[in-house]
Structure 1
Amino acid sequence: MNFLIRNVTRKTVLGDAILRADTSATRRTGLLKHTSLKPGHGLWIVPCQGIHMFFMKFALDLVYVSRAKHVKKVVRGIQPWRISLCLTAHSVLELPVGTIDRTGIVPGDILEVTRN
């Protein structure tokens, strides 16, 4: 099932084809089988306070989100073989590189998630 994720604060769309990883298997696998992400696509990992980029084939933008859908932290272009954490987050969005700059998202922004 795809989700549409909007930044209510900035009136922008982060993605309209976001998949949700909310089981042990889907969170563990993540985007490992992908070689890239198309604009508008991504993965919403719930629950999640940190990710690793081991064995990934491409960089990602990360948006850490609270349970109330407030942006807690953004990470631009994290490269393969890196780790990122945000202990105050409840979930993380893995998005194509450039999404953060294109949408202007910053910590404190409020997101809206709807089924697409």
Structure 2
Amino acid sequence: MAKLMNTTNNKTLIADLEVASTFLSRGKGLLGRESLPAEKALWIHHCNSIHTFFMKFSIDCVFVDKNLKVRAIRRDVRPWRLVLPVWGAASVIEMASGTVSNGNVSVGDQLYVGA
């Protein structure tokens, strides 16, 4: 189990970070799930845009570059939406809707994934 931390403000964002790095896991993403608990998130590698077609819940998306610096944040992305590509993003972290509203992450912040 990996943790997602914000080294800019020294806060833990996500206690249980799941990683989608294979073609199949990236393609499936959060599809088929009923919800996403607040303490969990999905990090999708090699991804600078997402869709929420066929999803059952809204999500917050944090787009990061290859060094895990936050490039963009999309709040409360509802089902059946498309988020266009984010320039400079290498991956996206999908979290429960409302997770980024607590002010623990902002564009420009440096994130870190660790044990």
Q: TM-score, normalised by structure 1?
A: 0.93
Aligned partners of 2:13 and 2:104 also within 8 Å: no
CA distance in 1, matches of 2:69, 2:40: 20
1:108 aligns with 2:87: no
User: Which shows bigger deviation, 101-110 or 56-65?
Assistant: 101-110
Alpha-carbon shift at residue 87 of structure 1 (Å): 2.7
CA RMSD in angstroms comes to 1.0
Residue 96 of structure 1 aligns with which residue?
96
CA distance in 1, matches of 2:17, 2:103: 16
The percentage of aligned residue pairs carrying the same residue is: 35
Letter in 2 for 1:65: V
Alpha-carbon shift at residue 99 of structure 1 (Å): 1.0
Q: TM-score, normalised by structure 2?
A: 0.94
Where has structure 1 moved over 4 Å in runs of 4 or more?
Answer: none
Structure 1 runs not aligned, ≥5 long: none
Letter in 2 for 1:82: R
